[in-house]
Amino acid sequence: MSSTEMILFYSTIAIATILSGILFYFKNISKKTYLLLVGIILVIEGIFIGIRWYNTGHPPMFGTFEATISASWMLLFLAVLIDRKAQFGRIVIPFVVLTLLYGVLFDKAGKPLIISEQSYWVYFHALFAWLAYGFYTFSFAGAVLTLGHGKWGEGYGKEIIENIGEFTYKALLNGFLAQTIMYVLGSYYSIRLHGNWWIWDPVEYLFVVSWCLYAIPVHGKILYGWGGQRIARLSILGMVGTMFLYWSLIYLPWATYHIFDVEIKIH
């Protein structure tokens, strides 16, 4: 990274960490302050993404470092879009920090995409992946608040808990739809690239496991009217599964066409 990129990147982490501390210690942060700080982080990281995009010639999607940049920016964007009351910030913003810190562990040099990834189909495939990650994180945050409302000292009433439960399900459903679209786009591009929509790449069958973890609460709600507590537990299970199945993939001893970090993983 250039010196400008380093300043922007670590400024993002620093301000997000400060905001996480504020949300942790001050339960009643004003909405204006919350949105202002999230907006500042969003703009700073957005400038960093723009510079990196210009230098590499592609959106940040190559390798774990760039993946964490895109994932964290999507969380901030959704925070401004759907969490204007700062209800879920104390869980989501620390996720932004942890996601960025995880990316620091990997190679931060910008690299050009290989020929097979130089396609708008891949770009939109990645975009919907980060949308799914963002909505699933908010669903996880809502699930934690639903299950832990009695321990947080919030004094939530029944109506507020029901609203949070409804938000949890809607976020989960949006994430599920985004993940499904991501898979459809990836499958279509696989047909164009390999002549087959399914090539038994590890990412594909691990995706099915992750997708099924979320399909269970979605269908349970629609078909059987499952309540907020059960949906919350399954949302947390889905998030834990997704975090493990995606972020830890590079440590698994399988070859994959989905290149993450060539210095660690043999493809």
Of 48, 42, 44, 140, nearest in space to 92 by CA = 140
Cα distance between residue 200 and residue 176, in whole Å: 22
Q: pTM of the full predicted structure?
A: 0.89
3-class SS at 157? Answer: coil
Q: How far apart are the first and last CA of the chain?
A: 25
Tokens of 24: 């942790």
Using CA atoms, how far apart are residues 38 and 142, in angstroms rounded to an integer?
19
The rounded mean pLDDT for the chain is 85
Length of the chain as a residue count: 267
More confident residue, 249 or 152: 249
Put residue 107 in one of left, alpha, beta given phi > 0 → left and psi -120 to 50 → alpha: beta
Tell me the C-alpha distance between 67 and 147, whole Å: 30
d(CA 97, CA 79): 14
* pLDDT single digits (tens) 133-149: 999 999 999 999 888 76
Amino acid, single-letter form, for residue 90: R
- Say if residue 114's pLDDT is above 80: no
List, for residues 1-60, the tens digit of each pLDDT value.
Answer: 778 889 999 999 999 999 999 988 877 788 889 999 999 999 999 999 999 999 988 889
